[in-house]
Amino acid sequence: MMDWTDRHCRVFHRQITRHTWLYTEMVTTGALVYGDVERHLRYDDVEHPIALQLGGSDPTDLAKSAKLGEQWGYDEINLNCGCPSERVQKGAFGACLMNEPQLVADCVKAMRDAVSIDVTVKHRIGIDYDEEYGFVRDFVGTIADAGCKTFIVHARNAVLKGLSPKENREIPPLRYQVAYQLKREFPDLEILINGGIKSDDEIALHLEHVDGVMLGREAYHNPWTMADWDRRFYGDEVGRPLSRVEVLEAMIPYIEEQLRRYGPLGLKLNSITRHMLGLMQGLPGARSFRQTLSDSKKLALGDPRLLLEAAARMPAAA
């Protein structure tokens, strides 16, 4: 989700669901240890609960980065052991770390020693074309021995050579039963499942076998899929969810404040509105909505009321 689930995206998603945990895009330890910490870690208080996802393989740097995350107020630190991109592999982190479970355990222990908030791990179920269950079982067991209690399982293998990141999300088959088996074998661990899940009914089915469900690209491209989660999965019968138009209206003050603080040179309107293009997906007029929000001349004016202009292109109130 690099360059997708940035802070603007997360504020937008928070208008749709109040209770769902939100995760940052992966932030490398190098960016925090040697780079601009504020640029990578700043967020809006409305985003809570929010997890900082880190990419790295050096226990010392990960401990420093986790500590920074805690100091900035994040609710969880998540270590990415699932990204298969070659760029990430060159940095010796992501999915290739599954081949070094003891190193991951050392990283987790270093982070847990540095912070008081939860440290979790996101990973695949195998590497390349090895589908032996024992591989992921031993990986989870080793990391659990280091004190990690929560695992987010992307239920596909990661093919490290020959497939692009996009192909790695499509070609290796989904094997949800592996995540289910992990939960059966490690009943005291919190096991969340990820990969190819698109509907509330699918989420409910998985929750019969595991403790939680993570959605990535589906939630990004079709954010309204989250609209009923507070009621259905968090038992919130009190708060009324906003309508799509109300979500847009709620974003206008945020955009105005961000443009005042960081624009016009540091922030463009499109940096925020690009995350909203899928809000009307599946409705008549959705294409007109996207076209209006993508109009370069209108975006150049920097007027956040463009959101309402785009909504007005819909044939009926959303």
Residues annotated catalytic, as ranges:
83
The two tokens of residue 299 are 């975006």
Using an 8 Å Cβ cutoff, are 154 and 184 in contact? no
Beta bridge partners of 154: 194
**24, 48 in Cβ contact below 8 A?**
no
Beta-sheet strands, E only, within the chain? 22-23, 27-28, 50-55, 76-81, 118-123, 126-127, 150-154, 157-158, 190-194, 212-214
Question: Tokens for 310?
Answer: 């785009």
Rounded to an integer, what distance in angstroms lies between the CA atom of residue 66 and that of residue 33? Answer: 11
CB 62 within 8 A of CB 103: no
Tokens of 177: 């039963």
CA angle 27, 33, 35 (to 5 degrees): 75
Segment (H or E) for 69: helix 59-71
Residue 285 φ/ψ region, left for φ over 0, alpha for ψ in the -120 to 50 degree band, beta for the rest: left
How many other β-carbons are positioned within 10 Å of the β-carbon of residue 10? 19
* Beta pairing partners, 22: 50
Cβ–Cβ < 8 Å for 117, 70:
yes
Cis-peptide into 49, omega within 30 deg? yes
Strands 50-55 and 118-123: unpaired
Q: Which residue is it, tokens 């044939």?
A: 315
Read off the tokens for 94.
């992501």
